[in-house]
Amino acid sequence: MKLFPRNKIWLRTVLQIFFFILIALIAVNHVLEDSGVKIPLLSNASLHAVCPFGGVVSLYQFAAVGTFTQKIQQSSFILMILVFILAFLFGSVFCGWVCPLGSIQEWVGKLGKRLFKKRYNHFIPWRIDQYLRYLRYIMLIWVLYATAMTGKLAFGDIDPYYALFNFWTGEASFTGLAVLGVTLLASLAVERPWCKYACPYGAILGITNLFSVFSIRRRESTCKSCDICFHDCPMNIPVHAVKVVRDHQCIGCLECTSEAICPIENTVVFATKGSR
Amino acid sequence: MKIRSKTLGTIIAFVIFGGILGASTLGLWKTESVRNPNSIQRNKSIGEAARENAVTGDYYPADIRGNHRFGEISEIFNIPLEILSHAFALPPDVDPANFKNQDFDSIYPSFEGEQEIGNGSVKWFVALYTGLPFELEDEEEDTYLLRPAVEILKKHASLTAEQIAYLDAYTIEIEFEIPDSYPSEDEFQSSDEGAGDGEETKLKQDEMIVAGKTTFADLLDWGVSAEKIETIIGGGIPNRLILVYDYCAENGLPFGQIKTELQIEVDTLGP
């Protein structure tokens, strides 16, 4: 029996598991710090210190008065810069390869696939869904505005990422836990619901898909228009209908490529403009 | 140029961990705002130390020196003056705000054996009360606290079993008279009691205390009008996110006085 299914981007799964465990252990280490115990060779930083979105919400305050938003550390800024470098090159691959909240939604979604079969991830009619996808920009604007006005983490109390790794410590707010619960429940029917409709960080990274150096490209001459890339896309992007995927929702998972689900070699690829 | 998943995954891991490694090498990777206490020169005033640390909003007990006054310590570490006064059993004729850490000898009788209350005791008390990082140095081993200080810490601070054991072992049982003006037992207990509205009100009031970390945004959020703030500070609010402390330091204003006037405005708003 093979560890990963055929045509699976196995390294992505490995990295997702790795980052999920890493962040979980850092969260545990942070709590253990109070009791004087520490997991060796592992950071005991707070979750805020290892979240690149903390850097984004601190940008205004840092530019205006030279300080960070409450609870945000310099490491968040460093991570923000590193993730932006990746995003300018490859689009929002952070969402598809690294973000633990995205990963857990994906894993819960595998159960949803078994439950709902082909209906999974296709419950919401596209004519409505395509507009709902912009809700995350409203969330982004609100988070940035509220944080800039108060100097506090406006997003902190509803953040499902913080709740995910702190549900057992008592530090997560009720709202955060509720949002996490709803997100995981919705993941049974819709793939990555938080990423699609609410994630403010995904919103800002998604903008880089519009101009990133690398992007998903489809060669029309060899494409059989079987639509399998569209049906397998976790973000419901109609890959089969475009030459270049410049969709703000693409998470760069490469599951639509010829390396994975596309049956024709060298037809759907992750490449720069003009590549053959 | 095409890129395959293995290459992409490797680049993602390399950029993230290579970037963190590079930032660490350059001293830029900071996951917390703890600063080396030894970087503060011994002859600096606590006000100077606090101003240096105002950027991160952190003040450290290790910065406390013998010539610092209780008033300064109260202001910087946000510890009520009455608590400090009670913890160190200051006599009624001593002005707590102007009392210096180096003057304990003038107010206490001789203690038994090696028992002593000094600047180390103040650092130790402040560290435990605020929960700020602090390690007793070699010369500060066997640091004693008076019984009232130990009782305050047991009621107000989050102490580990080891710290409680240490405190119990290094408590000086005072026999001289405690002034009447000190906070009563009931006042101490009130902050520890019960849940519900009473506790929420207490928390709310506690949060609305003008201190070193208070920004203009905090004051505005609490309901103090911009006009009143500007009248008190004698100028326009530069940016909501600036610490009031920083503003005072930059403009040569007495933070203690400004803070008191702002606190009066906050208190008039009620719970």
Q: Are residues B17 and B128 in the same domain?
A: no
Q: What is the pLDDT of residue A132?
A: 95
Is the Cβ–Cβ distance between B49 and B118 less than 8 Å? no
Helices (H), strands (E): how many in chain A? 12, 2
Q: Which amino acid is at B23?
A: A
Nearest chain B Cα distance for residue A36, angstroms: 10
- Distance between CA B1 and CA B145 in Å, rounded? 70
Which two tokens mark B226? 């911009």
Q: Are residues B163 and B204 in the same domain?
A: no
Which range, of A43-47, A69-73, A259-263, averages the lowest pLDDT?
Answer: A69-73
Instruction: Please state at what angle helix B161-169 crosses helix B147-156, rounded to 10 degrees.
Output: 170
Q: Are residues B55 and B169 in the same domain?
A: yes
Between positions 85 and 144 of A, the ones with CB within 8 A of B are 85-86, 89-90, 93-94, 97-98
Q: Cβ of A41 under 8 Å from any chain B Cβ?
A: no
Q: Cβ of A23 under 8 Å from any chain B Cβ?
A: no
Q: Cβ of A45 under 8 Å from any chain B Cβ?
A: yes
- Distance between CA A210 and CA A71 in Å, rounded? 32
User: How many interchain CB pairs under 8 A, A with B?
Assistant: 111
Q: Are residues B107 and B57 in the same domain?
A: yes
Q: Are residues B170 and B128 in the same domain?
A: yes
- Report chain B residues touching chain A, CB-CB < 8 A: 1-6, 8-13, 15-16, 19-20, 23, 28-33, 55-57, 160, 215, 217-218, 221, 239-243
A29 by Cβ neighbours in 10 Å (0-12 / 13-18 / 19+) ranks as middle
Nearest chain B Cα distance for residue A262, angstroms: 14
Q: Are residues B106 and B85 in the same domain?
A: yes
Pairing label, strands B171-172, B145-146: parallel
Q: Cβ of A49 under 8 Å from any chain B Cβ?
A: yes
Contact B29 A86 (CB under 8 A): no
Nearest chain B Cα distance for residue A110, angstroms: 21
Confidence of residue A35 (pLDDT cuts 50, 70, 90): low
Q: What is the pLDDT of residue A139?
A: 96
- Distance between CA A154 and CA B32 in Å, rounded? 20
- For residue B245, the surrounding DSSP H or E stretch is helix B244-251
CA dihedral A269, A274, A276, B5 (to 10 degrees): -30
Mean pLDDT of chain A: 91
- Distance between CA A78 and CA B203 in Å, rounded? 35
Nearest chain B Cα distance for residue A124, angstroms: 30
CA dihedral A121, A216, A101, A114 (to 10 degrees): 30
Contacts of A61 in chain B (CB under 8 A): 241
Q: What is the pLDDT of residue B55?
A: 40
Contacts of A45 in chain B (CB under 8 A): 31-32
Write down the ipTM of this complex. 0.93
Nearest chain A Cα distance for residue B30, angstroms: 5
Q: Are residues B205 and B242 in the same domain?
A: yes
Which domains does chain A possess? 10-209 (no CATH), 214-276 (3.30.70)
DSSP A77: H
Determine the residue among B56, B218, B241, B250 to mutate to test chain A binding: the one whose Cβ has the most chain A Cβ atoms within 10 Å. Answer: B241
- Distance between CA A247 and CA A254 in Å, rounded? 14
Number of domains present in the structure of chain B: 3
Rounded to whole angstroms, what are the CA distances from B236 to A42, A151, A153, B245, B266? 47, 19, 25, 15, 19
* B184 Ramachandran zone, left/alpha/beta (phi>0; psi -120 to 50): beta
Q: Are residues B93 and B216 in the same domain?
A: no
> From first to last of its 271 residues, what are the pLDDT tens digits of chain B?
999 999 999 999 999 999 999 999 999 998 875 433 333 333 344 444 444 444 444 567 877 877 788 988 888 888 888 899 999 988 888 888 888 887 888 888 777 766 788 888 898 898 888 877 776 654 455 788 998 899 889 888 878 777 887 787 788 877 655 554 444 444 444 444 433 444 444 444 456 777 666 788 888 888 899 999 999 998 888 888 888 877 887 787 777 678 778 888 888 876 5
For residues A187-210, give the mean pLDDT: 97
Contact A86 B15 (CB under 8 A): yes
- Distance between CA B268 and CA B228 in Å, rounded? 12
Contact B31 A64 (CB under 8 A): no
| Residue after which a domain boundary falls, among B135, B152, B186 | B186
Q: Cβ of A50 under 8 Å from any chain B Cβ?
A: yes
Q: Which amino acid is at B27?
A: G
pLDDT digits (tens, 9 = 90+) for A48-90: 999 999 999 989 888 888 878 878 889 999 999 999 999 999 9
Rg (CA), chain A: 19
Rounded to whole angstroms, what are the CA distances from A214 to A90, A211, A252, B13, B242? 5, 9, 10, 17, 41
Contact B6 A81 (CB under 8 A): no
Contact A93 B23 (CB under 8 A): no
| Residue after which a domain boundary falls, among B168, B186, B204 | B186
Q: Are residues B63 and B125 in the same domain?
A: yes
- Backbone phi and psi for residue A269, each to the nearest 5 degrees, phi listed first: -135, 165
- Distance between CA A148 and CA A75 in Å, rounded? 19
Q: Are residues B58 and B154 in the same domain?
A: yes
B25 is in which domain, residue-wise? Answer: 1-31
pLDDT digits (tens, 9 = 90+) for A82-134: 999 999 999 999 999 999 999 999 999 999 999 998 899 999 998 999 999 99
Q: Are residues B66 and B171 in the same domain?
A: yes
Of A82, A93, A272, the CB nearest to B1: A272
- Distance between CA B20 and CA B9 in Å, rounded? 17
Which two tokens mark B133? 């990082």
| Of B271, B193, B262, nearest in space to B229 by CA | B262
Q: Are residues B155 and B233 in the same domain?
A: no
Cβ partners under 8 Å of residue A175, min gap 6 = A157, A158
| Residue after which a domain boundary falls, among B147, B167, B186 | B186
